[in-house]
Structure 1
Amino acid sequence: MLQELQLHYGHLFEKELIEEIDRVATLKQVLAGTKIMDIGQYIKSMPLLIEGAIKILREDEEGDELLLYFLEKGDTCAMTMTCCVGNHKSEIRAITELDTVLIMIPIEKMEEWTGKYKSWRRFVFDSYHNRLMELLETIDNVAFKKMDERLLKYLKDKVAVTGSNIVKSTHQEIAYELHTSRVVISRLLKKLENQKIISLHRNSLEVL
C-alpha cells in the first residue's frame, strides 16, 4: 500500500503522514456496482480513492434517487468526513461506478491528523470546497437547466469518469439518477440520437 500512497498522494502529504497512513489504514478492492455506503449507516472509516470511481446519490421520501456527484481517484467524500467526525449517520448513498481501490482510514485519526499535519488539514478543506462546488453545480442544473441539458451533461460526466464513450446504463437507471421518468429519458435520448450526438444500443449507448 505504501507504493500506492506515494504514487497518488506523495505530492500532497508529508512523508511522515504517508508512513502513518500506511501503518493504520487498510486497502480495499471493490467491484463496480457495489454499495459501499448507505443512508442511515454509521461510518467507521474514511475512504481515499486510489483507482476507480464512485457515484454519490441522495434519496427522497419516496425512495427515488438523485445523482449528486462522482468521486474519482485522488478524491475523498466530504460528507463522509462530516459523518466520521461527528459520529452522525450517513445522509448519502455511495455506489462504485467502476472497479475501485480504496484506502480506508480509521475515523479516530481524522481529528488527530487535522491538528498534527498541515497537508492533511489542507486536503480536508480542499475536499470540502470541491464537493461544495459540485453540489452547487447539481443544484444549478436541477433549478435552471432543462432536462435535455441535464441529460447531456450527465452523459459527458459519465464519459469523463469512466474514460469510455460507452455508457452502460439502461434508460431506467439514467432516469433514477436524474430523478425523472424513463419515458422522458427515452424520448430525449432518441432526440440526441437524431442529432447524431449519441448512438443507442441495447442497455448502453455511445457518445459520439
Structure 2
Amino acid sequence: MEGKGLIIRGCAPQVLILEHQAIGGFVTHCGWNSILEGVSSVVPMITWPVSAEQFYNEKLVTEILRIGVAVGSEKWASLVDVKKEASVERDAIEKAVAQVMVGDEAEEMRSRARGLRELARRDIEKGGSSYSDLNALIEELRGGEESQCEEGSLEKIVTQVMVRDEEKEMRSRARALGEMARRAVEEGGSSFSDLLLLKS
C-alpha cells in the first residue's frame, strides 16, 4: 500500500487537507470551525448536521452564503445513537456530491467561497473588523490598557493575558458559564424546550 493512501489516527490536519488541489468538496457536520476552514480553503461544502447549532449553520452555508449543498439531514441526533438517527439516503449523498463537484452550480459556489475568503482575509489585516475586535478584546482582558496587535505579537499578548493574576478568575468565570450552559440544556433548563422544538 505504500504511496497509495494515508491513514491518520487522532486529529487530522484538516486545513492542510482542504487546501490540497485534489479536494473538490467537503462533507461537514457544520461545526463553526469546519465551516471557517472550508471557506478559507475555497472548498464547496456538503452539509450533514447532527445536533446543536449545526442546523442553523447549515442554513447559513446552503441558503444565505450559497457555498454548499445539504444532504437532507433533518433530525437532531442524540450523541447516543448518531448512526441511526443521522442517517441519510445514499441517493441524496450522491446528488449532493454531484452538485458540489461538477457543473455551473459548483463553480458558482467556488466563486462565492473565493469572495468570502478574500473578505475574511481583509478583516484580519490591520484595520479590518476582526483585527479591531481582537484588539478591543485584548484591551478588555488587560483591564482597559490600550493595545495594538503588532504583526506576530498575538501569541505574546495572549500569553501575557493568560499568566496574569486574573487567570484564575477568568478560568473560574469560564467554568461557571460552562456550568450554566450545561444546566440550561438539561431537562427543565431554560433552553431545554428550544432543543425539543429543534429535535422534532
Fold-level similarity (TM above 0.5): no
Higher relative contact order (CA closer than 8 Å, sequence separation 6+): 1
Whose helix fraction is larger, Structure 1's or Structure 2's? Answer: 2
Whose strand fraction is larger, Structure 1's or Structure 2's? Answer: 1
